[in-house]
């Protein structure tokens, strides 16, 4: 069933949406519900999917950064113990 709710969301709707997303665990779960649940406004649905994509990109960058930092740390520690 295709979502046909494409009406413009008001400032109040967006305010409540951002407020809910600001709640740590509940907000993350709600992004999945709005993004893939099918009952949300099409604008909110696309926004939720884009926000989840940004989260995925940021997490991937953090993982790469920690890997680089960890490799540098291990490399510097192994050099300290060479006799």
Residues 8-32 have pLDDT tens digits of 999 999 999 999 999 999 999 999 9
What pLDDT is recorded for position 44? Answer: 95
> Could you tell me if 39 and 3 are in contact, meaning their C-beta atoms sit under 8 angstroms apart?
yes
Tell me, what's the pLDDT at 50? 97
Domain of residue 54, residue span: 11-80
Q: Is residue 6 part of a domain?
A: no
Residue 35 confidence class, pLDDT cut points 50, 70, 90: very high
* pTM (2 d.p.): 0.79
50 located within any domain:
yes
Q: Is residue 1 part of a domain?
A: no
Chain-centre distance for alpha carbon 50: 8
Number of domains present in the structure of the chain:
1
Provide the residue count of the chain. 83
Cα–Cα distance for residue pair 74/68, rounded to 1 Å: 10
């Amino acid at each position: 069933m295709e979502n046909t709710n494409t009406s413009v969301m008001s400032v109040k709707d967006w305010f409540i949406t951002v407020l809910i997303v600001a709640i740590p665990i509940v907000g993350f779960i709600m992004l999945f519900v709005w993004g893939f649940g099918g009952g949300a406004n099409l604008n909110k649905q696309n926004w939720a999917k884009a926000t989840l994509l940004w989260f995925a990109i940021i997490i991937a960058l953090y993982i790469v950064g920690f890997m680089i930092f960890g490799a540098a740390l291990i490399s510097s520690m192994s050099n300290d113990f060479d006799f």
